[in-house]
Each structure stands twice: as C-alpha cells, then as structure tokens.
Structure 1
Amino acid sequence: WVFRQVSSILLASLTVLSALAGGATAMVFVFNSIHLLTLVFAVTLIGIAIDYAFHAMTDLAYGNSFYQSSGLSKGTKTALLLSFITTGLGYSCLLGAPISLLSQVAVFVIAGLASAWLFTLIILPIWQSKLVLSERSLIKSQQLLGLMVRFNRCKQSVLLVLGLVLMFLFYLKPISFNNDVRLLNASPQQLILNEQKHLTLMGQLDAHIVFLFASNAEQLLQKQERLIDDLKRINPHLKHNAIKRWLPSKRTQKNNLALFDGAVKNDVLIITEKYTGIKVESANTELLSYDALSNSHFSALLNAQMFVEPNKAVTWFSVSGISTHALTSSVNAYEDAFIYNKPEQISSLLENYSQYLLLTLGVAIVICFVLFSYKFGLRIGTVQVITLSASLLTMLWVCNAAQGSISIFNLLGGLLIIGLAIDYLVFYQINNLTAVNVLAISLSAASSMCVFGMLAFSNTPAIFSFGLTVMVGILAVYILSPLSVLKSQKE
C-alpha cells in the first residue's frame, strides 16, 4: 500500500530473515539446547528488525522521489545506530537472568538486530531505484502529520492532565505483582482437576517434601525421628513415608530391644506363647545399619530416599495431614532442615528478579535522560523522558487492570517498550515531524502491534502478558511520542 512494489515486501522479508539467521547462528554457538519458549519470545525480533527496513525504505524512496539523493540520509543512519545501541543495551539486561530462556532471548535478539542493522545499511541502498512512495500514502501521512502538529502544540496541558489522571488511577487501583511459576504454562482445567483428584485419592493433596542433612547416617536418622515425633504431637494421625519406619536409628533399635527383653522377662508375651506354641526368647540380634541395608536387596529403595558419603548424609520424606504453617515452624527449629517446594522457590526467584527488572527500568530511564540531554540538550531530554515515563506508566496500569496483577513478563515487555520508544523518540527528534517520518513510524507501530498482538491471543499466561504489554505500550508510545518533538537548541 505504501510502496506499491513487490520489491518492498521482498526487502522487508529479507531484513527479517537476516535477523533470524543472525540470531539462530548465535544461539547455535552459545547454547547447547534451546528452550521452546525462547522461540516464542524471539518473535519480538521480527517486530523490531522490520522497523529498520521500514525506516530505511521510506527514507530511500523519499530521497529517490524528491531529492535524487543516493543512499540513506545522515539522520536516518544516526537514528538507526542509536536505536540499535539502545535496544541492544536493553536486552543485554536479560543476559544475567535466573531463567535460561530469558538469556537465550537476549542473545537471539541482540545478534539478530546486529544482522538486521548491517543488512539495512549495506543491502537496502542497492535497491533504492526500485523504491517509490505511493501518492495516497503520502497524503494520508500528511493528514496524520497535521493532527500530530496540533497535538504537539498543547503538549504541556496534555502531559499535565495525563500525569494527574495516572496518579488518580494508581491511587484507585495500585499495582500488584504475581510471579507464580505456573504462569509459564497453560494446563487445561480438566487436567488440573484430574491431578487434584489423583493426589486426593493417593492422600498426597496436602503433601510436603522435607529434606534433612547431617554429618553421618546415625545422626540423620535420630534427627528424622525427633522431627517426626514433633509433628505427631501436632497431629497423631499424620502420614509420612520417612525411612525411619524400616531403618530406625541404632539408639531406637537398642531401646526397642530393651523393651522386648523386659517384656520377655516379665512374662508379658506368655499369651503369645500359649496361642502360637512357640517360646519367645530374648535374642542377641545385631543392629541393623545403613551399610548392611545398602548391601542388601533393599539397596535401590534405600538409595532412593537416603544418601550417605563421608562427613555428609541426606534424606527426604513426604508428610501430609499437617498445615503448612505448623510444618514450617517445626522444620525451622532444626538445623540443616528445609521444606522442598520447587514451584515456590522458583516463584520467589522470579519475585526477586522482578525487583531487579524494576530497578533496571528505572536505571534505563536515567540513562536515556543522560543520552538525550547530551545529544539534544537538557530541555529536549527532559520532555522525552517525561513522555517515555508516561507511556510506561500507562502501559503498566492498563495491564494491571486487565490482568488483575502484573508479572515478570509484563516488566520484560516494559524493557522492550523502552527500546521501541527510544526508536520513535530518536527518529522524531532527528528527522522532525515530517510526512515521511510519520509514515515510517506509523508503519513500524502497525507492524509491531500486529506481531505482538498475536501473542496476546495465547492461552499461556506468560506469553499473553508479554504480548498485551508490548501491544498496549506501543500504542501509548505511538500516541505520546509526537509530544517530545521540540526545536533543537543544539546542533
């Protein structure tokens, strides 16, 4: 519609393919295996890489039609370089993420953007003579430009009103976080209900796993016995599969033998002799030990629940029929004992990482302010950062209202929005509010919203959150970014 040439579709597609090839090559060399969700989030590369093609093709076609200039303009080259650097820095924050798929996404996107950037600078100018802007697209962009210019003239009032509205909305519904690891999957409700039914029938619906450590097997077994006794004082009917049921500590075995010998001497077991016809006598039995059991036919069963090496011994057991609070209080009273809950541990890790991402977003805004102020002057840098912050806050509130809470994946989307917003702000400030610039940015926004909008239809909560965040964020940035354009006081 914009270029009316098949070559434009080919060039945009080749730019995206160059990005995918660069990202895939980096993944092969850096990682031994690739997480499935990496490929899902890597679709973000398409939305960014095609922006390079749109800006370059629009600039080349405009120069070809009106100025007869050769190659990309200096302003577009500068803007493309700044966009690549800032977006790459944004994704580099994910390289230290605690989840491997996030670091894989970072490597894929950074390498892919580098390929797309080089392809745009080197290959696209060769096709300049084939690129011409359609008259209708220029007319539409000119009309849109008129709206943006009028919008830009009342920027102070718009930003003030928007700030007050956001303050009221955040007071009305503050942001809450939910980083449950189950957001990474989208299990059908029927499957979840079947799992709960199965656990109920097995008596494991409220089961918890406890790990115990000690310096040797005897100390470990004694610790386990004390902990089980403490738990049975809370609920005598609790269920457990602790190894002490068939491998008691030697101290307990000695006590049991003493009780047995006492019962024999006091003729307590005489009724047993009467009905069985077998005389019960005390036996000098060797105590059962871990070593003896590990060398028997029961070794596989033993090693599945207990492991002993020099100066270290560990065992685990599941327990049900006791509240999480009561179990936690009892386990915390012992040294080297903890409740193993992998989903909870990963969720806690994601919670900590979300705080890191919030800090990263704040630092990114500060860095943007420094770079914008250095490049364009303090006044323009301030307005651009205010516009960027307003877009981010709008995005976060809308996502929080739509989802009920936000997660790490909304913050990851916010990181991407900063990269895309910087692209828009830089291109607007360098190339100004012109029809061709508005056309290129509108193309970028439309393509990005289509790419990320697809993710918003996913049933997987993590992918849905990411897609919704970026789609809403791009819309907010597209509407507000024209407010950042000021006459530069610095060449």
Structure 2
Amino acid sequence: MWKRWLSLMVIGFVALLGLFAYQAQTTSWQSSLLDTLPADANPYHRAYQSSQQPNEQQILLWLQVPAQDAEALREAVESGLLELAAGQPEITPNSQLALAPMLDFYRKYSGSFATPADRQQLRNAPQHLINAAQRKLQQPAPVLVDITADPLLLTQTYVEQLPDLMPGFSFDAPFYVREGANYELLVALTSGADALSQSESQQVVRKIEQFTNGLQQSFDTLELARSGLIFHASAAADQAKAEMTWFGGLSLVMVVLLFILIFRSLQHLLFTLLVITVAGLVGFSVVMLLFAEPHVLMLVFATTLIGLCIDYVFHASIAASHGASSWRAVVPALWLGGLTTIVGYALLIFLPLPLLQQLGVFMAAALLCVLVLVIYLTPRWRSWKAPAPGWQRLHQRIAQSYSFNQSALTPWLLVVLAVLLATALLYQHQSNDSVRQLASSPASLLEQEKLLRDKTQVYFDADVLLINGDNEARLNAAYAEIATLLPQWQQQGLISRWQSLFDYVLPPSQQQAVITAQHALWQQPEGQSYLQWLGIDTPQPDIAGLAEHPLYSLFVYPMAQEQPAADAATGYIGVVRLAGITDRVALINELQNYPAVELYNPLLQASSALGEHRQQLRIWLAGLLLIAAALLSWRLRRSAPWPQRAFISLQVIAVITIALSAALLVAMFTQALNVFHWVGAILVLVLGLDYGIFCASDVRREHALQAISLSALTTAIAFGALSFSATPAIAAFGSVVLVGVLVSALIAPCIKPSQTASGPG
C-alpha cells in the first residue's frame, strides 16, 4: 500500500513538473504597472494604447565628446551599429525618423505645399515669389523639389520651415548631430524584439549595454544617456524577480531554522517543503494555463503562499504530534479556515483588475492543494515529533496568561476597540491613486531620462488629443480643424507646444487652393514670362494623399484591426501630442464644441482606474467579512447554541477589523493608501481569519498558539522584508501585512469560545 501510494505521488509530481516546465517556456510575463490594470472600456483609448506598443522597442542614445573626438566617435558608433544589427533580436536605426523618405514624398508632390506666408503672397503679390525663386535658382544651393512641378520653389520653402524631428539637431544619416565646442550625437534605434517577450527585451538591453560599455572604454571623456521604455521594463522585471527570490528565500530560510530549533526534525521540514513545492507548481501551472501574459508582480505576491501554507502545516503537525484526539479536533478548523480563505481569494477573480485575478487564481488553486495534501497526508505520514519542551512550556504559560487576564468584558472590549479603530480609519483615511507612486526605476535610468529631456525637446507629456472619425476623410477634416486651433491655444497659454500630422502636411483642401492659385498665375503675363524663362511647360502638380506621408502612421491609427469583432467601433483615430498644459479644465472647455475630440492622458486614466479598484477592494473586504461572519456562525463549534456561535463569530470579526484598521492606520504615516495597501489587507484578513478560527475552535489553546506564533513569525519576517522593497507597490503591500499579521497574532488569543451572548453582566 505504501509503495503504491509513493509511486502515484512520484508519477503525479513528475507530470506536474513537466506541465509547469512546458508552460513556463511558452508564457510571456508582463512587467509594466499599466499592464496590471484592466483594459479600458473606451474603444478609442484601447486603440491608442495598442498603437503605442511598438514604442516599447524604441531606443534613444545621446552621446557627447569634445569636438576633436567627433570623427572617431562617429566611426565607432557606425561600427557598433553593424554589430547591433547582426544576430537576433535585430537592432537598427529608426527608419521612421530618417529624412530621405520625407524628401522623396515632398519631391513627388512638388508644387502642392506652401507656407502660410507664401500662400498669401501667391494670392496678393505673386511677382515677389517669382523674384525670390529666380534668386534661389541662381545660387549654388541644392534644389530639393521637382522644378517642373514647382517653379516657384514653394514646396522647398515649406520643407525648410518644417519643425525638426529632433529639435536643435541636424540630420546626418543615420544620426542627428549638434556641433560646437562639444560634438553631440543622437542615435535613434528600434529593435525587432517581440514587445511581449521579456527574454527578447532583456537580450536587447544586454546588447545595448555591451555597445555603450565599449564606447565608454574607448572614450574617457564620453558623456552618455539612454532612454526607452524597454530599459525600465527590463529593470522592473529583474527587480521583481530578484525580490521574489530574496523574500521567498528568506521565508524558506526562516522555516528551516524554526523547524530545526523547534521540531528538531527533518521530517517536518521535508513535509513542509513538499507541500509548498507541489502547491506552488499547481498554482503557477493554473495561472499560466488561464492567463496568456501573467504579471511579474504576481510572482512577488505569490510568496504569500508560504505564510499560509506554513500556518496549516504547523497546526496539522502539532495536533498530530499530540495524538489522534488532537488531530480530530483540528481537522474541522483546518477545513473551515482553509475553505473560507479559498473562497475569499476566489472572489478576487470577479474583480476587473488582472493582477488580482491572477493572484486569486494562484492562491485558490495552491491553497486547495495545500489543504488536501495536509489533511490527507498528515495522518499517513510517519509519527510526528512534538515541538521542543521549552517551546511547549512557553506557550502553556502564554495561554495561561491570556486566560488569567481575561474577564467577561474582554470580548466586548474587542468589539469596542474594533469599532473605534475602524472609525478612526474612516475619519483619517487618505488615498493617492497616482500610478507614478507605484513604481520606481533605478536612479541611474531616471537621471539619464532627465538629461535627455534637458538636452532635447524630443519628448512630450502623456497628454494627447484623440480625434476620431468613422472614415479617413472625416477624420482628416476634424484633425485639420483642430490643428488650426493649436497656435491659438498656445497664445492663450493653455499649452506650450504640440506635435501633429498637419505640422508636416497640408490638408487636401489647402493643397488644392495652392495648386489653383498657381494655375491662375500661369495664365497671367508674369507667370507665362517666368515659365518661358525656365523653359518649361505649365506645371500640373498632384494632390498628395495624407496616408502617403512617411509620418502618417505616427499620428493616425486604424481602429478596425484593434477592436474585437463584437465591438462595433471602427474607423480611425488621430493623435496630437501635447506638452506643458497649464489649465486642463480650460482646455477641456475649449473642446466642448468638438465632440469627435478628447483630451486623454493614459496615466491619469490609469490612476482613476486604480482609485475605482481600490474602492472595489474595500467593498470586497467588507463583503468577505460578512460572508465569514455568516459561515463562522453556521459552522464554528456546531455543538454550541447558535447565540454562542454568533458571539464567537463576532469576536473573530472584531480581531480581523482591529488588525486591518491598525495596519492601514500605521501605513498612512508613510504614504497615502493605494490599491496595493488593500491587496496587503487581503492577506491580513485571511490570516486573521485563520488565527481567529483556531483560537475559537475545539483545538487546545496552547497547541493553537504554538502554530499561530510560528506562522506569524515567519510571515512577519518575510513581509517585513517586503516593506523594504524598492518598488513602492510591493513596499505598501509588505508594510500592511507586517503590522496586520503581528496584531492578529497578539489579539486572537483574547477570543473567549465559552463566552455567552448574554452580555458582560
């Protein structure tokens, strides 16, 4: 029988390990905090966010050396670019920022574009344009347009006055340069890596680092800065994995030390490691099966499994070590505590926050596995060794001390304290849902980003104007109308600068007006005389299609390919990038007359979503407390009268409320509450619920306290370490768990299972 059971266990474990290994190879992990948020319900927002995914692979390098090293630096960078382009993933100069395709476009449509000043002169004083064109043609400067289509060189003047793609830098393929006492080089790169593949993104980062490290070794005076979402995402992923390894490892080390010191047996240790390993594999396998792109933060929060798993293993093994009667007494409490906790985590699946859904699935699956393994294997394991006598005597004295100091008023004091702390929390409650406070990049990356912003004007704010249209013609018409208002808003001080498609191209109607005015000129004597001087026929310029412009795809995105078939939203969205909004409300008011236009900021939208989910989590916690109260009144100490069960349940809920309120009040001393504080409150609730159930059950109090103290100690140490995480979201989570678990462990023994509901009298 034993051999058959062992064979089945080994076969099952190998199969589970194989499933986990297979799924791990095919799963992509998200690392951006924005990926923890639910998909925006607004189809235009979703289309815009989807269109920005390629930007995750855009890289900008800024290099500066003294002017005498300019040629050597350029040669070294050109050589390095060849190495970056070799192998996979391929890293190449960003072709979207090259000037050659733009010049080809304007040359093809010579005569269709003119500046506002030239358009006015074409109507009122065309001879001035003829004289200016003759002077240009007699100079040695190159002609960039087709003179047979644009004799007045209107399009060349238009091109010369276009906004720079890299303000302050001139294009010298494939770089942008600025010369002076120092030689500055901007290198815009893009990678062929899959934006959803963390491994490929990290390969890109490593190749860039090798490239820049080589340059720094070759040039002692080189100043260098790099920018790109890929660097921050890679750093966040590395940090989350390192912290998961460190904090999870710390928990395991504490478990090992405690088992050695308290149980003096490897049997307990091996059993615990077996349960944690199998449960972890089950949890991760289920998550990777149900979610195509889990988030790396889920790995960090998944370390909470260790604390809960240890709690059940400690209770089971200590009860089993004291004989069959103790084991029978603990089993109902294990089922009640475990299933209540599983239900609580399973409810997270119904929240629209992807990270919490993943956490709920992982914990529900893993805890169910823990519960089944602990209850099934504990009585079948070899005889359990009781904890060290000193540990038992300590908890006997602790139990006696709690019992000696309790009175008929103690349960009511718990209820009163819970009400007071909950009231204080509601009164003092402060929240800050900004996504900016939830993540932190390495200081070196932030310094380089700041340097690039100071040196260039390449970057805009997260604010954009989204313009929608059900077809390209309507979109372009609405976009062009908004583009004419941008200078006016700048003069009013509402914005400082912008970038739009119509900074680089004229609407078809204006192109047609330019062509018509020129055609009228060629019918006049001065126009005919000029054409004869050039020796060309009457030009016939073509109107340029906006979609042919090389920058069109940076400003206009089709929605049809972004939306599921069930979504009726189709058409196009246009984007105007903004910087320096000084009065958001006034700008929104200006847009009231343009229903197809919206001021959108994905960071503000994400912050608003986090606030909504923080509220949902609060409601979820309150609902779970009510569900727990009902279940405890029904199932806890079933032989006792219902009023007594209800009063015991009230005490357990009071303990949880005290722990939650105290933890959140303490957390507010360091920062305003955010959604991740409330994620930590989930673990405080479920552990407090477990502690309360075991203290209120038929389990001997000293046995329950032995397991509670061990569980609380390991959990507090592990999550106390989390509170020092460099990621504020994780630190918020850890600080709440640390305080909440310790408070729960300290006051749970105050529960009086024998107290009647008749009141303190």
TM-score scaled by structure 2?
A: 0.57
Quick one: which amino acid aligns to residue 727 of structure 2?
T
Q: Could you tell me how far 1:338 is from its partner in structure 2?
A: 2.3
Residue in 2 that maps onto 1:288 = 544
Q: 1:52 and 2:312 equivalent?
A: yes
**3-state SS, counterpart of residue 235 of structure 1:** helix
Deviations 1:358-388 (A, max 9, x none): 1101111111222222235222222222222
Work out the CA distance in 2 between the residues paired with 1:84 and 1:261.
84
Q: Could you tell me how far 1:426 is from its partner in structure 2?
A: 0.9
Residue in 2 that maps onto 1:343 = 603
Is the CA contact 1:433–1:485 (under 8 Å) kept in the aligned structure 2?
A: no
Q: Could you tell me how far 1:30 is from its partner in structure 2?
A: 2.3
Deviations 1:271-305 (A, max 9, x none): x979x976999855443334xx53xxx4x532332
Quick one: which amino acid aligns to residue 410 of structure 2?
K
Equivalent position to 2:385, from 131, 137, 150: 131
Is the CA contact 1:232–1:238 (under 8 Å) kept in the aligned structure 2?
A: no
Structure 1's unaligned 5+ residue stretches are 64-68
Quick one: which amino acid aligns to residue 34 of structure 1?
P
Is the CA contact 2:415–2:654 (under 8 Å) kept in the aligned structure 1?
A: no
Quick one: which amino acid aligns to residue 248 of structure 1?
L
Work out the CA distance in 2 between the residues paired with 1:356 and 1:464.
21
Is the CA contact 2:411–2:751 (under 8 Å) kept in the aligned structure 1?
A: no
Deviations 1:339-371 (A, max 9, x none): 342222222211111111011011111112222
Q: Could you tell me how far 1:81 is from its partner in structure 2?
A: 0.7
The residue correspondences of 1:318-337 to structure 2 (distance < 5 A) are 318-323=577-582, 325=584, 326-337=586-597
Q: Could you tell me how far 1:429 is from its partner in structure 2?
A: 0.9
Residue in 1 that maps onto 2:270 = 10
* Higher RCO, Cα 8 Å, sep 6+: 1
**3-state SS, counterpart of residue 118 of structure 1:** helix
Equivalent position to 1:459, from 723, 726, 741: 726
Quick one: which amino acid aligns to residue 8 of structure 1?
H
The 3 A distance-change label for structure 1 pair 235 and 280 is farther
Cα RMSD of the aligned pairs, angstroms, is 3.3
Q: 1:485 and 2:759 equivalent?
A: no
Residue in 2 that maps onto 1:412 = 679
Residue in 1 that maps onto 2:505 = 247
The farther-off stretch of 438-447 and 21-30 is 21-30
Work out the CA distance in 1 between the residues paired with 2:315 and 2:653.
23
Residue in 2 that maps onto 1:66 = none
Work out the CA distance in 2 between the residues paired with 1:129 and 1:50.
19
Residue in 2 that maps onto 1:388 = 656
TM-score scaled by structure 1?
A: 0.86
Residue in 1 that maps onto 2:484 = 229
Work out the CA distance in 1 between the residues paired with 2:485 and 2:467.
15
The farther-off stretch of 177-186 and 324-333 is 324-333
Work out the CA distance in 1 between the residues paired with 2:556 and 2:403.
73
Is the CA contact 1:260–1:282 (under 8 Å) kept in the aligned structure 2?
A: no
**3-state SS, counterpart of residue 406 of structure 2:** helix
The residue correspondences of 1:13-412 to structure 2 (distance < 5 A) are 13-63=273-323, 69=324, 73-153=327-407, 154-155=409-410, 158-159=413-414, 162=417, 166=421, 169-170=424-425, 174-203=428-457, 204-206=459-461, 208-236=463-491, 238-257=496-515, 285-290=541-546, 294=548, 298=549, 300-307=550-557, 312-323=571-582, 325=584, 326-376=586-636, 377-401=645-669, 403-412=670-679
Is the CA contact 2:418–2:657 (under 8 Å) kept in the aligned structure 1?
A: no
Structure 2's unaligned 5+ residue stretches are 1-260, 561-569, 637-644
Equivalent position to 1:423, from 665, 670, 690: 690
The 3 A distance-change label for structure 1 pair 183 and 78 is farther
Work out the CA distance in 2 between the residues paired with 1:95 and 1:112.
14
Q: Could you tell me how far 1:15 is from its partner in structure 2?
A: 2.1
Work out the CA distance in 2 between the residues paired with 1:406 and 1:207.
24
The 3 A distance-change label for structure 1 pair 432 and 80 is closer
Is the CA contact 2:418–2:654 (under 8 Å) kept in the aligned structure 1?
A: no
The 3 A distance-change label for structure 1 pair 206 and 277 is farther
